[in-house]
Amino acid sequence: MRALVKATAGPGLELREVPEPVCGPTDVKIKVMRAGLCGTDLHLEQWDDWAAATVKPPLTIGHEFYGEIVEVGSEVSDHSRLRPGLRASGEGHVVCGACRNCRAGRRHVCIHTQGIGVNRDGAFADYVVIPATNAWVQPDDLDPDLGAVFDPFGNATHTALQWPMVGEDVLITGAGPIGVMAAAIARHAGARHVVVTDLSDFRLELARKAGADMVVNTTRTSVREAQRELDMKEGFDIGLEMSGAPAAVNDMIDNMNHGGRVAMLGLPKDPYPIDWGKVITHMITIKGIYGREMFDTWYAMSSMLQTSPTLRESITSVITHKVAFEDWQDAFDAARSGQCGKVVMDLTR
């Protein structure tokens, strides 16, 4: 089968023929139809310090995918839910099931988590094998492109739904694909004002189309000015930090209402200081977010899409590029350019 492989330590990837993965007794084998690019994949291609410390080549990369179940392991008991012919996306975090958090039902904070396409072979290939418990069966009529972005859609959902949003004023820093999806979710969840900041006019326009009331290019306009334009007297109630940029984080803290709540998904490159005095005296709650809650986030995603054609359209609008798998280098170039939302590769022949 075809697979996009990190063959050796160092920059670059190779599209090569490799043996099909074997479906174990507790696994499912999925024929991949679509695969989405993530920042993680760019790190692996470039072979930065994080990639060098994390990945052991050779490895098939990729963890955002959608496809058709073609085989179910002999020891998988839930054959009413998992059977060949069904379409599925996959949860990209494989957990141990035995640590304290797993046994307490908090699998998203498993201390032994392995990443598909990072610590084990992934989905930039014609076939991928994952634990049966990681397969999320999708409706037959779901757009395959949308099915391929459930992983980042889950990140946005996990972050945005940390606290009730009805009637709240929401600030989202970072208009990458996950930030744009979060704007759509905030709109769907009943926020009063949804404001998105970024440095890219292209990505801010995606956020506007997805449901943001106001988009702010912070090279030209301050968040404080946006508050005045919206006649906001007391600052934002909820902050969703998607950028990992120290300046954006501090800007958010400066513009939160007393008692405001901040969910942080954006990963910074390096440590940085923040104004802890303001966090303390303004009683701001800060919560780190990683991945998706297994599997409450997945239920929330599916339920929201089933009940809202508007949200389906908004999430789908984040997909700006669709590229044939053979042209994977074009897909990576588009993702690196910054002039894109989600980039999806089509693996159907």
Q: Is the pLDDT of residue 233 over 90?
A: no
All structural domains of the chain: 2-149+318-346 (3.90.180.10), 163-288 (3.40.50.720)
Q: What is the pLDDT of residue 81?
A: 84
Q: What is the pLDDT of residue 105?
A: 93
Q: Is 133 a catalytic residue?
A: no
Q: Are 76 and 38 in contact (CB under 8 A)?
A: no
Quick one: average pLDDT of 49-56?
93
Q: What is the pLDDT of residue 217?
A: 98
Quick one: average pLDDT of 155-179?
97
* Cα-to-chain-centroid distance, residue 1: 27
Rounded CA-CA distance 246/173 in Å is 11
Q: What is the pLDDT of residue 80?
A: 64
Q: Is the pLDDT of residue 349 over 80?
A: no
Q: What is the pLDDT of residue 338?
A: 86
Catalytic pick among 8, 26, 40, 219:
40
Query: What confidence tens digit (pLDDT) does each residue in 63-97 have?
Result: 999 999 999 999 998 766 899 999 999 999 999 99
Q: What is the pLDDT of residue 79?
A: 64
Q: Is the pLDDT of residue 301 over 70?
A: yes
Q: Is 40 a catalytic residue?
A: yes
Which residue is it, tokens 């989905």? 123
Query: In terms of DSSP bridges, do strands 93-94 and 319-324 run parallel, antiparallel, or are they unpaired?
Result: unpaired
Q: Is the pLDDT of residue 294 over 70?
A: yes
Catalytic pick among 8, 26, 43, 133:
43
Quick one: average pLDDT of 184-197?
98
Mean confidence (pLDDT) of the chain: 96
Q: Is the pLDDT of residue 135 over 70?
A: yes
Which residue is it, tokens 């930090």? 241
Rounded CA-CA distance 150/64 in Å is 7
Rounded CA-CA distance 51/183 in Å is 30
What kind and span of H or E run contains 72? strand 64-72
